[in-house]
Amino acid sequence: QVQLVESGGGLVQDGGSLRLSCAASERTTSNYAVGWFRQAQGKSREFVAAIDRSGGTTDYADSVTGRFSISRDNAKNTVYLQMNSLKPEDTAVYYCAATYYISTAPLRQRSEYVYWGQGTQVTVSR
């Protein structure tokens, strides 16, 4: 059982930056794909970014491409989401998710992930 804990959320002004962290409870190096999703109030949970098990391949939703960057430090069992040029429409609860996946490809679908964190709130004010 892998436990994931997100941190780094908060309140930021339009155009600001935040870095979210997703810490895993056990060694996830090499064998787990990780993704970030978000859910705004009244909306369904949507894909934000994903990274393959090695960190060599990443994928982003069109809405965040060029502004967000996903990375991982397998030695620390942590995946990061650097968010720059934040907009009010980025306001949501952000979740990280992980799944055992040995292919070197990031995963975009919610259904592909087995383990989920509790989420961290990101609020971008105008």
Per-residue pLDDT reduced to its tens digit, 65-83: 999 999 999 889 999 999 9
pLDDT at position 27 is: 67
Contact of 84 with 67, CB cutoff 8 Å: yes
Contact of 80 with 21, CB cutoff 8 Å: yes
Percentage of residues in the chain having pLDDT higher than 90? 82
Cα separation of 73 and 83, whole Å?
17
Cα separation of 83 and 70, whole Å?
9
Q: Tell me: pLDDT of 30 over 80.
A: no
Contact of 54 with 93, CB cutoff 8 Å: no
Return the residue matching tokens 């609020």: 123
